[in-house]
């Protein structure tokens, strides 16, 4: 058995699969360029954040195993180890996962990303191929957590409700109708109540996208003081008025009320 084979055998014996994470005592926001450490029950996972799309952060995995990992860029940190190497592996960090992250350094993202791209293009064989296959299994928890996030996100994204004006117009009197169908501007932007919703004009109606913190909670959506929807707040609510309406006017008379007793 050659040196690399023996080293891989020892590594696979000692570096066990991570099955759960430990929350850090004082988590702080994670940003692009941060070197983060996620503390697992069987050791840490190191990574660099190379991109941020607000919902998730793309992270390149760093490894303290400098020999088996090959030729990736070396990254110096002042932590449990002093040197880490860039790998061809990545994962996506969700907001919920940030509570497990400790920021342990800051790096030049471009250099990390370039090294990562070059490593991704390589065809691995033998010991290195087996090493990276093992690493994917060892840190499988981060991939499973991201899949859970995607499933929840897709459930929310598919949670869209459409109301036809014909179904709700009986709720409104003449004065309400004058407000709803106010003069429409030639060019309309989006209407925003930052704590509750975003209202966007669509053809002959509006689309209301609710704030993340409201989605799934039990409440009511009101227009001009009249309840047009009650139940769990969806990701978005579309109202087809069968004619253009003023976004500015709709925002002024739109409200969302959450039931105080729904939590817990």
pTM: 0.61
Number of domains observed in the structure of the chain: 2
pLDDT tens sequence across 180-193: 776 654 444 445 55
Q: Answer with the one of 135, 155, 175 that is the final residue of a domain.
A: 155
Q: What is the distance between the alpha carbons of residues 232 and 151, in angstroms, rounded to a whole number?
A: 18
Q: What is the distance between the alpha carbons of residues 163 and 204, in angstroms, rounded to a whole number?
A: 12
Beta bridge partners of 201: 206
pLDDT of residue 115 exceeding 60, the answer is yes
Q: In the structure, what pLDDT confidence band is assigned to residue 155 with cuts at 50, 70 and 90?
A: low
Q: Are residues 60 and 20 in the same domain?
A: yes
Q: Answer with the one of 131, 155, 179 that is the final residue of a domain.
A: 155
Q: What is the distance between the alpha carbons of residues 21 and 1, in angstroms, rounded to a whole number?
A: 35
Orientation of helix 126-138 relative to helix 140-157, angle to 10° = 50
pLDDT of residue 153 exceeding 70, the answer is no
Average pLDDT, the chain: 86
Q: In the structure, what pLDDT confidence band is assigned to residue 158 with cuts at 50, 70 and 90?
A: low
Burial of 17 (0-12, 13-18, 19+ CB in 10 A): middle
Predicted local distance difference test score (pLDDT) of residue 189: 45
Q: Are residues 116 and 224 in the same domain?
A: no
Q: Are residues 109 and 200 in the same domain?
A: no
Q: What is the distance between the alpha carbons of residues 35 and 40, in angstroms, rounded to a whole number?
A: 16
Residue 223's domain spans which residues? 159-262
Q: Answer with the one of 155, 176, 198 that is the final residue of a domain.
A: 155
Q: What is the widest separation between alpha-carbon atoms in the chain?
A: 88
């Amino acid at each position: 058995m050659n040196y690399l084979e023996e080293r891989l055998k020892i590594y696979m014996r000692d570096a066990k699969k991570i099955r759960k994470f430990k929350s850090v005592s004082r988590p702080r926001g994670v940003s692009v360029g941060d070197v983060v450490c996620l503390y697992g029950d069987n050791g840490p996972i190191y990574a660099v954040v190379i991109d941020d799309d607000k919902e998730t952060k793309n992270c390149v995995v760093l490894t303290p195993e400098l020999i088996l990992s090959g030729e990736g860029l070396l990254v110096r940190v002042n932590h449990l180890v002093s040197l880490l190497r860039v790998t061809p592996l990545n994962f996506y960090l969700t907001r919920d996962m940030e509570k497990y992250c400790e920021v342990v350094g800051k790096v030049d993202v471009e250099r990390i990303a370039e090294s990562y791209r070059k490593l991704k293009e390589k065809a691995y064989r033998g010991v290195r191929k087996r090493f990276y296959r093992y690493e994917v299994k060892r840190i499988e928890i981060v991939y499973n957590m991201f899949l859970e996030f995607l499933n929840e996100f897709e459930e929310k994204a598919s949670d869209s409700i459409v109301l036809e004006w014909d179904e709700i117009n009986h709720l409104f009197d003449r004065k309400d109708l004058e407000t709803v169908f106010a003069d429409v501007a030639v060019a309309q932007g989006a209407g925003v109540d930052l704590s509750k919703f975003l209202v966007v004009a669509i053809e002959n109606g509006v689309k209301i996208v609710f704030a993340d913190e409201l989605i799934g909670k039990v409440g009511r959506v009101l227009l001009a003081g009249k309840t047009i929807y009650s139940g769990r707040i969806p990701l978005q609510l579309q109202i087809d008025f069968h004619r253009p309406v003023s976004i500015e006017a709709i925002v002024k008379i739109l409200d969302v009320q959450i039931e105080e007793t729904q939590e817990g």
